[in-house]
Structure 1
């Protein structure tokens, strides 16, 4: 185990953010200049998240976890589905935990699980706990044994106007191939073999008429993990799958799927700069995406999900257009592939920087084909007329030019977002690490060294 360390308090303005361990790097340099460490969690101290009691989410606007019309029981789904959606939602409960941890409670764990038989208890026991790696290093263990649950780490308070946040990954088991196979360890793509693992009741089109729980689309061909992603509201927590797609600014996640929808997707080889077919890889890729504020996925995701702009060592791609030699590829362009078999002896570091002009996404580690590499891509808040969705933390950073009316259609009606990004709006930055979905993803991960930096003087 690591030895205990003295700590010093670091402050930004009048706000104490956290205690910074002595003897750790107090600053790093990047394209934006010098970053000074103000908050750090190394998971040396015991986590008490799993001991916290479960709370029934009351749903509705008074719920501590309420967000907006695209919430778990939001007005949007009710309008496009009619009474059918409310009947489906009434068949289950959601239990939650919200637990602050770290020095001065600068981080928060958000845990949620579905109670499908409404017996007053969550059906699974997702959690966040300490675990020691073989070398004695203490890390956080994200455990999600069932797909109908979610586990997130987020900051307790919104991020500052300019920052660098980073995390270290020491283990990942949320699907993808191992040894060239999706079936290993008694699981398929990271999911245990029980039947009826579906998207119920949350889909982008609302409730599906005439479909029972087990008739809803199966999820076991789609697994994944959010390494580090920035959302546009202060209190992220696990919710039904569609909601988060309307709230992401910049994204670094893994999406491990051999679904036919992605048969034409590509993956970048950072060493050669060439794109190869994702289906010819290992399905352990990292997506580095900038959510577009000017384009939405109308057909596939009902104007609830943005289109993406992707920058990689193999070039830049707008995901709604074909790319690569001869327009051979379409959809995701994955930036690089992890090698999970090298963990925990090796590690991957993911970082997001926000400076005065835009966002930088950074990933470091022993990537497939490329070896130990650091990959960085930057996108200005508005670049070539293309905005990052909800980039403005204050009203003064945005003039309303990308506001638009969005229509969301379902089997029983429509819901209209009259102003998707109005003048005078503001959207705080908050990061997430883990799984934000209540009806997708299953597995476990080991996370270490979450750090927050702010600009240094000079």
Structure 2
């Protein structure tokens, strides 16, 4: 790092505090630019850009067996795939379940100076030494010949992510452009199309095994675990609180998100009272009366957790939309008849790839802004933006602080995670002196959920012009 400024990022991992030194200055690749198309404060300087003009070589990289445990390159904390939390709440049953499979992975840097990293993972359920499917990130072409990146996940027991190789700067704007999405939701008013259901191929035994929020399920084998095919989705752009995101069992990521823009396409009965915003009329309608192609724009709360449903492993969310602001754990809308997710708008996948959607996250001195642009249902081409301060009306964004000086410890609390065999306790969920880097993800971070493909044709990182 000779000749370049550096800052220290202090990362909380498994109860410890680790100090890592990362480059403070990203190499500028362009002049001053308004990355937000005229929206947002000030002007931005483009410091990193990937247009996928050169062929990707990710799929040629050999698979590596994840050794699991604290020495694994993919280890994060107690809520890891084989983490202490799941062992504690499940006892030896979880270890026996986990012993029935292996996880194979790839970690491949790409882009100018390797500023992006692909994280690919797949389960080997029969332990024959090979992943059971071939997820990947490859070069594809739009009808006009333009190169794009294709995220391919042909089986639910795998995951594919794009993330930054280094943590993000203190202030930034990151954006991505979506040109195709096939991760479920309705098409032509139906969930069954293309020989699939909700984006899943129709083989049996597609379940959450072995990772659930409650730990291992006593008395249930792999195919007895809850089916996942009514729940598909995709992370358009989400900020996590650690430096090296990769696909894991789905409960873990729910404890690591700061702000979220994702699609969750589910007709599960749990969401029969969920709502979707019509940005044109600013009225809420039942998600079940839409096309199940909504975009969620969520701020993870640092002061509330989903104790009953998710065993304190998932934060509650605060949602800001053109139809108003709601807390996901409380009824909302006219007559307070809605409950659960409130989607900000609905995509129109049938317009892709001729049309495009752009998703962006900005972090400034005060908080985070979530932005989505494109031809949304009901309203047509528009840009939707919502901002939440780091602490707003006493409500904090989870783990917002990148440095210890940005936070005084006021929201620290003890969390109990109970399971059939015991309780794992997080003594300090957000202690004074901790800090959490920002890292974005695009794709699917789950090893036991989601299946499909997507096309991404542009990823850009900006910093404020006066930060150069």
- Per the shorter chain, which TM-score range? over 0.9
Structure 1 residue 12: deviation in Å? 7.7
Match of 1:326 in 2: 335
Structure 1 position 235 matched with structure 2 position 244? yes
Q: 2:135 aligns with which of 126, 139, 143?
A: 126
Structure 1 residue 20: deviation in Å? 2.3
Q: 1:434 aligns with which of 443, 447, 451?
A: 443
Structure 1 position 45 matched with structure 2 position 63? no
Structure 1 position 110 matched with structure 2 position 116? no
Q: Distance in 2 between matches of 1:26 and 1:18?
A: 18
Q: Secondary structure at the match of 1:207?
A: coil
CA RMSD of the aligned region, Å? 1.4
Match of 1:77 in 2: 86
Q: Secondary structure at the match of 2:466?
A: coil
Match of 2:64 in 1: 55
Q: Distance in 2 between matches of 1:381 and 1:98?
A: 32
Judged with a 3 Å threshold, the aligned counterparts in structure 2 of structure 1 residues 16 and 130 are, in CA distance, closer, same or farther, namely farther
Structure 1 position 254 matched with structure 2 position 263? yes
Match of 1:408 in 2: 417
Q: Secondary structure at the match of 2:273?
A: coil
Q: Secondary structure at the match of 1:146?
A: coil
Structure 1 position 198 matched with structure 2 position 227? no
Match of 2:103 in 1: 94
Judged with a 3 Å threshold, the aligned counterparts in structure 2 of structure 1 residues 12 and 375 are, in CA distance, closer, same or farther, namely farther
CA contact (8 A) 2:30 2:47 kept: no
Match of 1:8 in 2: none
Structure 1 position 396 matched with structure 2 position 396? no
Match of 2:284 in 1: 275
Structure 1 residue 457: deviation in Å? 2.3
Q: Distance in 1 between matches of 2:176 and 2:462?
A: 12
CA contact (8 A) 2:64 2:104 kept: yes
Instruction: Tell me which stretches of 4 or more aligned residues in structure 1 moved more than 6 Å.
Output: 11-14
Structure 1 residue 30: deviation in Å? 3.7
Q: Secondary structure at the match of 1:214?
A: helix
Q: Distance in 1 between matches of 2:193 and 2:112?
A: 39
Which blocks of at least 5 consecutive residues in structure 2 are unaligned?
7-22
Judged with a 3 Å threshold, the aligned counterparts in structure 2 of structure 1 residues 88 and 19 are, in CA distance, closer, same or farther, namely same
CA contact (8 A) 1:18 1:103 kept: no
Q: Secondary structure at the match of 1:403?
A: coil
Q: Distance in 2 between matches of 1:321 and 1:457?
A: 41
Q: Deviation digits for residues 42-98 of structure 1, max 9, x if unmatched?
A: 000110000000000000000000000000000000000000000000000000000
CA contact (8 A) 2:164 2:440 kept: yes
Q: Distance in 1 between matches of 2:389 and 2:122?
A: 37
CA contact (8 A) 1:233 1:429 kept: yes
Structure 1 position 384 matched with structure 2 position 390? no
Match of 1:6 in 2: none
Q: Secondary structure at the match of 2:300?
A: strand
Aligned residues: 447
Which blocks of at least 5 consecutive residues in structure 1 are unaligned?
1-10
Structure 1 residue 17: deviation in Å? 2.9
Judged with a 3 Å threshold, the aligned counterparts in structure 2 of structure 1 residues 25 and 32 are, in CA distance, closer, same or farther, namely closer
Q: Distance in 2 between matches of 1:38 and 1:294?
A: 34
Match of 2:228 in 1: 219
Q: Distance in 1 between matches of 2:311 and 2:40?
A: 37
CA contact (8 A) 2:28 2:45 kept: no
Q: Deviation digits for residues 291-324 of structure 1, max 9, x if unmatched?
A: 0000000000000000000000000000010000
Q: Distance in 2 between matches of 1:124 and 1:54?
A: 12
Judged with a 3 Å threshold, the aligned counterparts in structure 2 of structure 1 residues 40 and 72 are, in CA distance, closer, same or farther, namely same
Match of 1:187 in 2: 196
Q: How does 1:346-365 map to 2 (within 5 A)?
A: 346-365=355-374
Match of 2:273 in 1: 264
Q: Secondary structure at the match of 1:279?
A: helix
CA contact (8 A) 2:300 2:315 kept: yes
Q: Deviation digits for residues 80-117 of structure 1, max 9, x if unmatched?
A: 00000000000000000000000000000000000000
Q: Deviation digits for residues 176-196 of structure 1, max 9, x if unmatched?
A: 000000000000000001000
Q: Deviation digits for residues 100-137 of structure 1, max 9, x if unmatched?
A: 00000000000000000000000000000011100111
CA contact (8 A) 1:18 1:40 kept: no
Judged with a 3 Å threshold, the aligned counterparts in structure 2 of structure 1 residues 104 and 176 are, in CA distance, closer, same or farther, namely same
User: Taking structure 1 as the reference length, what is the TM-score of the superposition?
Assistant: 0.96
Q: Secondary structure at the match of 1:450?
A: strand
Judged with a 3 Å threshold, the aligned counterparts in structure 2 of structure 1 residues 252 and 406 are, in CA distance, closer, same or farther, namely same
CA contact (8 A) 2:30 2:46 kept: no
Q: 1:456 aligns with which of 442, 447, 465?
A: 465
CA contact (8 A) 2:33 2:44 kept: no
Structure 1 position 294 matched with structure 2 position 329? no
Q: How does 1:409-424 map to 2 (within 5 A)?
A: 409-424=418-433
Match of 1:4 in 2: none
Structure 1 residue 288: deviation in Å? 0.1
